[in-house]
Structure 1
Amino acid sequence: MIGLLYLVLNFTVGWAICSYVLPELGALTRLDYRKRDISVSPFLILLPSWYVTGTLAMTWATYLLGMVFQNKEQPLFYANLIVILVAFLGSVLTYLVRKRKALPKVAILCNNKRSLHIEEILTAGVFILAFLLMWTTFFIHGDKLYIGVSVFSDFSPHVGMIRSFSYGNNFPTWYPHYAGEDIKYHFMFQFLAGNLEYLGLRLDYAFNLPSMISFISAFFLLYVLAVKISGKSGVGILACLFFAFRSSKTLFTYLSRLPKGTNIWDALASNMEFISDTPNEDWGLWNLNVYCNQRHLAFGLTVIFLVIILFLPRLYALFHGLEQTSSDRANKNDNTRKSFIDTFRYLFLTGDGWKVKDFRLSIAVGILLGSLSFFHGAAVIGCLLVLFVMAILSNRRLEYAIVAGIAILMSVLQTKLFINGSAVEPEFLFGFIAENKTIFGVASYVDRLLGILPIVLIVALCLEKKVGKYLILAFTAPLIFAFTVSLTVDVTVNHKYIMISCILLGIYAAKTVWMLFEDRSVIRKLIGAIAILLLTSTGIYDFTTVLKKNSPDNAIVLDLKDPLTQWVKENTTSRDIFLTSNYTINQLVLGGAMMYEGWPYYPWSAGYDTYGREEKVKQMYEAATPAELMKLIRENGIRYIVIDRDNRESTDYTVNEENIQATYECVYEEGEGVNKLSIYDTNKMH
């Protein structure tokens, strides 16, 4: 119950903050960006805004207080006691103040019945989608935890991180698959889940509930953004549809390669793997599976959409003024040279272009975005890229500068707190993961990856007015960044920037397609229907594959009451480092054990020196004498040594089990023969 209370307080705290910082937030759904009336229910922007604002505030407060009380046996007890009490009192106080001021009440639902029915369909559809994705990939039945086969890889560090907080005292924070050093991975969403489990929510509820709320919130805000740009609810629905189901040629390529005489429906029904025509596409890198295994991504997208919604009026205001200036010049028959000078002066040399009219909003958005850095760092970078392009041709540019300055400063401070050294190592790298990193090779890659989306966007670019053309350019900025810059050793992680661009650009794809349905011509409506089919077919089929792959029969099943998991929980702390084989997800990880080095891909992609540790693991397991072993164990801070079948059959080293047995006392043992698992405590010598 306390965990549910904490989630509810996320909303009430967010409401309290937004009441002071964004008092007119609900009113944003009354007009589009051209000041035309629209019918959108305020709850579609209010609930997501309250959620992300309150969650960021409460989660950071809880974590930082946990750091303060890290020397206590249960730091989260004291941290949550203070945060929950302050959050409750703050929410009540805000309510009483607002009630005393007799402020006008804001309706939660719109008055237009047609729009309300559309929103009901959207809400129901997104809720069902979120439920299916989250609860088919991670759920508990009885005493068993089921982890979907398409997510278990990413969930190894996620579950380890969650349990390091709910079962342990991971302050200062270590990475569960590379214990003993700093934390380079954005982990705060996992901390949120771990704290919810600590507060009494069952593990699957603790992870799935905030994941579902984040996923639904992202769709709600994308719908609001699309309607405010287009003025039409149909565009909002299509934008959400394109968000859920990606555009790609992959399905059609797959079908074209089936042998002659193959029954297409049988082939599609029997296939259990993600179809692929580009590198790593078979990981489920581009489809809804991403939101299953990277639960924090939807949270980051929600913040991005909210920030863009709040700052787009500045862009539209400048273009509106530019249109008026152009009209005035046309009436005066000004020459081309004078027109250019007047345009340049209006764009960059007027007070409206630079002055700050709302310090409060700018500071609040900067803090909001900066607080996101260790929830999802790529979302911060992607948002700043879009804002940078928007700012060039927006009024009140200094407000953008305030946002960027605060966000970057907070990101740097968090990096200094968590990371030794630099968080990123930027370098120019053209081509992303395209097989042929030439202009034509990249063009071929984009064509295969995105299907007809680029073609639809080219049409949109031709049809849109100046502000629309420029906004398409701004939304393309993360995609351009992904194909030219690498920030980590694993450039594949840039796929999130491409996804951010595709989701935002999907608004203009939706707007273009919707124009076909507004035409009376049956032919154009048919073309629109075909376009929707081509834009979503691969994504829809990917969704069916997600469900098939993650059936309970295929799941990784862990026992919540397994003796090894319980032993780790009851006898070790988050400062105890385990020397193990290169585990992914197993009963030891479920217990919250901190591994010297788990599966190396996870820490390697986060920027850790896995090659150096692999050599040290080899030296410790192969140590020839007790003295050599003790020296290595002491140097590397190892508390427990695990020997199991994986060690004994490893091709990377030959474990000297006799030497370990002769040096340290065995404190846990299960199984027999080659399957025997033994844990040796390096604090207990023979």
Structure 2
Amino acid sequence: MMFASFNSSGGKLKISNPEYSDFGPNTALMQSFAVGHNFPTEYPHFSGDRIRYHFLFYFQAGNLEFLGLDPAWSLNLLSITTLVAMLIVVMTLGEMLFNSRTVGRLGSLLFFFFGSLSYVPFLHKQVSIRAAIEAIKHRGDFLPSIFPYRGEQWGTWSQVTYLNQRHFASAIGIFMLVLVFLVIQYRARAARRINTNRSKGHFINDVAAWLRRGARMFLPLTSRRHSAVATMSPSHEIVPNDTLSPEPDALTETSPSAMSDRSQVGGYNYRLSDDATPAENPAEPETEVTPPPPLTEVKPQTMVRAESFRATVPGFIFSGVLLGLIPMWNSALFIAAAAVLGVLFILFPLRLQMLALAITAGLIALPQMLYLGTGSGRAPMPRLFHWGYMVDQPTAMNVAKYLGFTFGFKWLLIALALIFASWFQRRLFLAALSLLGVAFCFQFTIEVLANQKFLHSWVIIANLFVAFALWRLWRLSLGGTTLPGKFVATALFLLIIPGGVIDFFPIHNTGWSEVQYQNDPLIDWLKKNTKPRDIFLTDRFVTHPILMAGRRVLYGWPYYGWSAGYDASKHDRLYAELFEGKDPWKVYHLLKDNGIKYVVYDNAVRQGQFIKRPNEQLYATYFPKVFEDSRYNGLVIYKVPDTSPPKLNALPEGVTNMFEGGKGAGKGEFDSPTGIAVDPSGNILVADTNNGRIEKFSSTGAFLSIIGMKGSGHGQLGEPNGIAVDRAGNIYVAEVGSNHRVQKLAPDGTFIAEW
């Protein structure tokens, strides 16, 4: 999976087409750490502000590349390791929760089969089974769903999420590891309660035996012997009912040795009784009476709880440390963990320990969340509560339809699992169910794909309940045979897996996009002649040799900045002004204010749709050219000097022309111009109506002068509307608004007359 979507050969990265766009920021981050110097860390596609993207996974991949691996091996080795580790932890969670290795392994296997019904419309379109097989074998796209929502058409409910977001599996693994720890702790608490109750039972039995022996002292010897037989019959039973423990049916694959002592297996109701026989307990001599054990042997419950808290809290604190480190790995998973653990806090005991976990995690995570979520360059965030954020027209029916299609037949198996499950397991499922509430009720970012992470996290836990239901059905006996249960379990399993099977083929069938990362003249020049922290003004691209050299760009592919929470519209305006502005002085100072060291022009800028009137002549005139190579789409690099060029200082600030000025009150700018004329010399006069003036330009459009100023006096203009010029160059201006007059002005703007 990993190498099929991201590989390298001959100094080029080979990126699978469906994942190409997602690897833009990921590879740029890796290279910024491996061959650049991205400390303090900034987003390579949106430089000049703190990073707002969970980057620590790619920091680790960059370290591996720095140590000698190529980028593909660095990322894939880390991706495979963390994915396998996550599956092992999920397997462990299933075994601990249901006491069955089969459930754990099957639940881990179901990770590869999301369960969506997307395969149904796909298969319905096929004319025959043979045609369906051929279509599956040659399929190049992941199965789309029936919904028009974002991500649904490119197969977000498939393995593509884990191929694109390589950091996702590691964060889920940490979260699952904490859940394993909590399940162990809840089981251990149940065992401690059982042991405490058993100790109390032994004490009561000892006291009863002592009383019986004392009573026999006052009986004749023969009567004592007969009474011993009667009193040695079971006299007391202790039946702990630990609600934290699963019922016997939920505990499976237990060894015979463990079955022989039910008190050692959390969840088994067991009986302790005094069932000794006279032969095992001969009558004691009449003169010896063993005193009862002192009452102080049973420790107060408060002391037991205090000792339990001190013994267990270190593990909870360490779990809090693990969760606290998640935000810069994947912030959505930290929110998911907080939601699930919040419900566990309500439904389960050990609340003091859980509070210690929460405080630890919060202290570590809060600075990270503030760093990622604040700053001057952050885009305004929408309201936090947003019912139905993931669907349009979020009625209860539409949400149910969406969830029903997305998880398909898994819902039926989950319902069966909850019937078979113990109260302990049901409560844990309720805690996991909070993730659906978070996904549909809250909006943490402007990108809806972030909320889909909550559903991906939920289904991993839900898979364990699906596996439990399949396992119970497989072993279910009806009329002395298990064949009906096996048949139903097999049928349901086969209804779950088709979508996952079909989606394995696009991983290998799609083409590659290649990106050079070494043995490249431009990359070699960048590494030799520029500094790792330098910022470039370039075309807005997904990947580029500049990013592969570990450098940063002012504004890369706009989606990356927008989805990460940056104010992309602000950079749109700045980007256009730097590539279209005709005022050298202003452009130079904008470059310096934004820390830009190099300006890169290529045909994508010259002929692109975003930049309408490129100003390359300005850079060619005032900035030194330091690199040029037509092999890179006509690429030219200009260096921004540390101090302004001498000839740039001599230029008046704000000089422009009539074609580039735009709206405003500066030189060459307009506000609702409504009249235009040409004088005998070919100069162009424009009635700048709302600014109350006339602007004069040369025949080529260069700014020359301003005639008049806003007012009602002679030579002043209210709202000049119409304009004409006679053979002598005199100017006639018709004013609307408050003045309602026509003025005659000399060519230089001197007042002559009015009507």
Of 482, 491, 498, the match for 1:530: 491
1:373 aligns with 2:327: yes
SS at structure 2 position matched to 1:592: coil
What residue number does 2:541 align with? 583
Structure 1 counterpart SS, 2:32: helix
TM-score, normalised on structure 2?
0.66
SS in 2 for 1:374: helix
Secondary structure of 1:608's counterpart equals coil
Q: Which has the higher contact order (CA 8 A, sep 6+)?
A: 1
Q: CA deviation at 1:317?
A: 6.1
Calculate the TM-score normalised by the size of structure 1. Answer: 0.73
CA contact under 8 A between 2:599 and 2:638: conserved in structure 1? yes
Equivalent residue runs for 1:79-94 within 5 Å:
none
Q: How does 1:192-341 map to 2 (within 5 A)?
A: 192-258=60-126, 263-277=131-145, 278=147, 279=149, 280-316=151-187, 324=241
Question: Which residue, 389, 394, 397 being the options, matches 2:343?
Answer: 389
2:502 is aligned with what amino acid? Y
3-state SS, counterpart of residue 49 of structure 2: coil
Deviation of 1:591 (Å): 1.4
In structure 2, how many angstroms separate the alpha carbons of the residues matched to 1:545 and 1:214? 23
- Answer yes or no: is 1:360 the counterpart of 2:314: yes
- Secondary structure of the corresponding residue to residue 602 of structure 1: helix
- Determine the structure 2 residue equivalent to 1:443: 400
CA distance in 2, matches of 1:498, 1:478: 7
Query: What is the CA deviation profile of residues 364-402 of structure 1, one whole-angstrom value per residue up to 9, with x for unaligned ones?
Result: 111121122211222222122222111212221111111
Classify the secondary structure of the residue corresponding to 2:598. strand
Structure 2 counterpart of 1:7? none
| Larger mean Cα displacement after TM superposition, 426-435 or 508-517 | 426-435
Aligned counterpart for 1:186 among listed residues 37, 51, 54:
54
**What are the equivalent positions in structure 2 for 1:594-633 lying under 5 Å apart?**
594-633=552-591
Structure 1 SS opposite 2:625: strand
The alpha carbon displacement at 1:152 in A equals 1.7
The 8 Å contact of residues 102 and 471 in structure 2, kept in 1 or not, is answered as yes
1:475 pairs with one of 421, 432, 446: 432
Alignment of 1:521-560 (within 5 A): 521-549=482-510, 553-558=511-516, 560=518
The answer for the alignment partner of 2:671 in structure 1 is: none
Range with greater deviation from structure 2 (406-415 or 277-286): 277-286
Give the Cα–Cα distance (whole angstroms) in 1 for the partners of residues 457 and 554 of structure 2. 34
- The question of 1:134 aligning with 2:51 is answered no
- Residues 326-357 of structure 1, C-alpha deviations (whole Å, 9 max, x = no match): 89xx9xxxxxxxxxxxxxxxxxxx96899554
Q: Mean Cα displacement is larger for which, 212-221 or 510-519?
A: 510-519
- Return closer, same or farther for 1:197/1:379 CA change in 2, 3 Å cut-off: same
- More helix by proportion, 1 or 2? 1
Return the alpha-carbon distance in structure 2 between the equivalents of residues 418 and 545 of structure 1: 34
Residue 514 of structure 1 aligns to a residue whose secondary structure is helix
| CA deviations over 1:44-89 (Å, ceiling 9, x no partner) | xxxxxxxxxxxxxxxxxxxxxxxxxxxxxxxxxxxxxxxxxxxxxx
Task: Please give the alpha-carbon distance, in whole angstroms, between the structure 2 residues aligned to 1:518 and 1:383.
Answer: 34
Q: Which one-letter code corresponds to 1:583 in the other structure? A: F
Q: From the superposition, tell whether residues 227 and 426 of structure 1 become closer, same or farther in structure 2 (CA, over 3 Å).
A: farther
Q: In 2, distance between residues paired with 1:139 and 1:273? A: 19
Residue segments in structure 1 that go unaligned for 5+ positions in a row: 1-132, 331-349
Among the aligned pairs, what percent are the same residue? Answer: 29
**Partner residue, 2:278:** none
Mapping for residues 106-145 of structure 1, pairs under 5 Å: 133-145=1-13
CA distance in 1, matches of 2:347, 2:450: 30
Q: Please give the root-mean-square deviation of Cα atoms over the aligned residues, in Å.
A: 2.8
1:411, 1:355 → 2: CA distance? 24
- Output the CA distance in 2 between the equivalents of 1:173 and 1:250: 40
| Contact 1:354 1:398 survives alignment (8 Å) | no
Name the residue aligned to 1:8.
none
Deviations 1:487-531 (A, max 9, x none): 111122111111111000110110001112123432221211111
Partner-residue secondary structure (3-state), 1:510: helix
Equivalent in 404, 410, 414 of residue 364 of structure 2: 410
Q: Distance in 1 between matches of 2:525 and 2:430?
A: 55
Which of 500, 514, 520 is the matching residue for 1:562? 520
Q: Could you say if the C-alpha distance between residues 606 and 418 of structure 1 is closer, same or farther in structure 2, counting changes exceeding 3 Å?
A: closer
Paired residue type of 2:22: D
**Alpha carbons 1:315, 1:390 under 8 Å: kept:** no
- Which one is further off, 438-447 or 306-315? 306-315
Equivalent-residue separation in structure 2 for 1:468 and 1:613 (angstroms): 50
Residue 598 of structure 1, CA deviation: 0.6
Deviations 1:628-653, CA, capped at 9 Å, x for gaps = 22122122221111111211122222
Tell me what 1:71 maps to: none
Equivalent pair of 1:366/1:403 in contact (CA under 8 Å): yes
Q: Say whether residues 1:667 and 2:626 are aligned partners.
A: yes
CA positional deviation for 1:174: 0.6
Deviates more, 1:527-536 or 1:631-640: 631-640
Provide the rounded CA distance (Å) in 1 between the counterparts of 2:338 and 2:307: 19
Summarize the Cα distance change of 1:259–1:430 in structure 2 as closer, same or farther, 3 Å threshold. Answer: farther
Distance 1:270 1:293 in 2: 21
1:319–1:485 CA distance, 2 compared to 1 (3 A): farther
| 8 Å Cα contact 1:188-1:375 kept in structure 2 | yes
Which whole-Å CA distance do the structure 2 matches of 1:581 and 1:142 have between them? Answer: 26
CA distance in 1, matches of 2:129, 2:492: 28
Q: Structure 1 residues 352, 428: CA separation in 2 closer, same or farther (over 3 Å shift)?
A: farther
**Distance in 2 between residues matched to 1:595 and 1:240, nearest whole Å:** 41
CA contact (8 A) 1:354 1:397 kept: no
- Tell me the distance in 2 between the aligned counterparts of 1:559 and 1:192: 18
How far apart, CA to CA, are the structure 1 residues paired with 2:437 and 2:29? 33
453, 457, 468: which one aligns with 2:414: 457
- 2:592 is aligned, of 634, 638, 657, to 634
Greater per-residue strand proportion: 2
* C-alpha contact 1:577 1:637 (8 A) present in aligned 2: yes
Q: 1:223 to 1:428 in 2, by over 3 A?
A: same
Instruction: State the alpha-carbon separation in 2 of the partners of residues 442 and 297 from structure 1.
Output: 25
Deviation of the 1:325 alpha carbon? 6.8
Query: Of 588, 595, 614, which residue of structure 2 is paired with 1:655?
Result: 614
The Cα of 1:555 is off from its aligned counterpart by 3.3
Given that 2:50 and 2:375 are in contact with CA atoms closer than 8 Å, whether structure 1 keeps it comes out as: no
The answer as to whether partners of 2:390 and 2:451 remain within 8 angstroms in 1 is no
Q: Deviations over 1:530-588 (max 9, x none)?
A: 11111121112112222222xxx433343521212222222223421111121101222
3-state SS of paired residue (1:376)? helix
Larger deviation, residues 381-390 vs 592-601 = 381-390
Conserved 8 A contact 2:36-2:549: no
